[in-house]
Amino acid sequence: MNAKEVTQKVMNKESLFILDVRNESDFQDWKIEGENFQYLNIPYFQLLDGVEEVLDQVPKDHDILVVCAKEGSSVMVAEMLSEAGVAVSYLQGGMKAWSEHLEPIKIGDLTDGGEIYQFVRIGKGCLSYMIVSNGEAAVIDSARMTDLYLEFAKSIGVKITHVFDTHLHADHISGGRTLAEKTNATYWLPPKDAAEVTFEYEALEDGSDVKFGETTISIHALYSPGHTIGSTSFIVDQQYLLSGDSLFIDSIGRPDLAGMAQDWVGDLRETLYTRYKDLSDELIVLPAHFMIIDELNEDGSVAEKLSVLYAKNHGLKIEDENEFRKIVTENLPPQPNAYKEIRDTNMGKMSPDEEKQREMEIGPNRCAIR
């Protein structure tokens, strides 16, 4: 079973029994999540002499999927189960493939023609976007698997002419610069996040209004610091707010990934409680990450009206500023895996090979405070 097939089971809320044969610590840290999934974690080395101990623990009336890190161990366990008469599949490419799968979902049509698509990186919780207008496209917060955007653009007959990063990412390696190089597109980055970068870029500043295609569709940049000092949101077609890592559906951004939590927490509050508050509450918020599978809509997208978030998101309902500062700086989750190396890679200071990049990104996203 490949990652796309498992993704469809997640989005369709189908049942699936997962036998995860990774070490317990890896399973507890990060696993395939589905609303109707059941789990059994037994490290593969406990099954080297046979699978008899698990035969009475796997159901007979569910699809069964064996999962490991890179595929090899799950193939071995699945073969033994099959020989024991169990109908079973294994995850092709393992959790490595799960981490890298992107699922494109159309969010909607734009006023003067064109569309906006969301790319759901289901195993990592990352969200990126493609905005299309009259044969041209802009990509926002690209994952490092840039060929997937190129293939999708080709399939709908558009050319990528602009690439944006809402901020300097710390939990995943940006594909923005690579995608821009492959397409000869303009690469935009907030200059306050780019003080140490080693490459050229176009400065993305508050009030920038980037038009593309031959229509009046525009991407309006809104300075929204807090998660990083340069974090920038986008208002697209007066319909959508691409909030980067400042605001999520069920959480808010963390201000500490550059070691500046006490300095940036005030900026984060200003963004969430003033800058966004001044916007139309009819805007559809499209964040750069999701935290839990419950944030997915029926069609698999991650999107919600700004008014709904102000009514339901607890991070937007802390009226006392001192309480907000305390909650945000004292309830921080663990840092993302290899986040310092990822930041250096996104600055152009490091150039790790593909396998090293995969290793750096392994694990869940940790950009939010819930």
Which of 3, 68, 148, 302 is the catalytic position? 68
What is the distance between the alpha carbons of residues 170 and 154, in angstroms, rounded to a whole number? 29
pLDDT value for 71: 95
337 domain residue, yes or no: yes
Q: Of 338, 333, 302, 331, which Cα lies nearest the Cα of 104?
A: 302
Counted domains in the chain? 2
Q: What is the CATH number of the domain that holds 63?
A: 3.40.250.10
What is the distance between the alpha carbons of residues 241 and 209, in angstroms, rounded to a whole number? 14
pLDDT value for 239: 95
Reported confidence tier of residue 337, pLDDT bands at 50, 70, 90: confident
What is the distance between the alpha carbons of residues 246 and 228, in angstroms, rounded to a whole number? 9
What percent of the chain stands above pLDDT 90? 81
Q: Is 325 found in the same domain as 227?
A: yes
pLDDT (tens digit, 9 = 90+) per residue, 257-300? 777 778 899 999 999 999 999 999 999 999 999 998 999 999 99
Residue 72 CB contacts under 8 Å (≥ 6 apart), including other chains: 94
Positive or negative: CA dihedral 369, 308, 33, 166 = negative
Average pLDDT, the chain: 93
332 domain residue, yes or no: yes
Q: Is 349 found in the same domain as 239?
A: yes
Q: Is 88 found in the same domain as 221?
A: no
More confident position, 334 or 358: 358
pLDDT (tens digit, 9 = 90+) per residue, 2-18? 999 999 999 999 999 99
What is the distance between the alpha carbons of residues 6 and 2, in angstroms, rounded to a whole number? 7
369 domain residue, yes or no: no
Prediction pTM value: 0.94
pLDDT > 90? residue 144: yes
Mean pLDDT of 95-121: 95
Residue 68 is among the residues annotated as catalytic for this protein: yes
366 domain residue, yes or no: no
pLDDT > 80? residue 331: no
Q: Is 208 found in the same domain as 75?
A: no
| Structural domain for 175, as ranges | 102-354
Mean pLDDT of 128-142: 96
pLDDT (tens digit, 9 = 90+) per residue, 185-243? 999 999 999 999 999 999 998 888 888 877 666 788 899 998 899 999 999 999 999 99
Q: Which amino acid is at 76?
A: M
pLDDT value for 363: 82
Q: Is 24 found in the same domain as 154?
A: no
Structure tokens at 210: 């980037």
Tell me the angle at which helices 261-270 and 321-330 cross, rounded to the nearest 10 degrees. Answer: 130
61 domain residue, yes or no: yes
Q: Are strands 186-189 and 159-164 parallel, antiparallel or unpaired?
A: parallel
What is the distance between the alpha carbons of residues 215 and 207, in angstroms, rounded to a whole number? 19
Q: Is 293 found in the same domain as 229?
A: yes
pLDDT value for 370: 67
pLDDT (tens digit, 9 = 90+) per residue, 28-56? 999 999 999 999 999 999 999 999 989 99
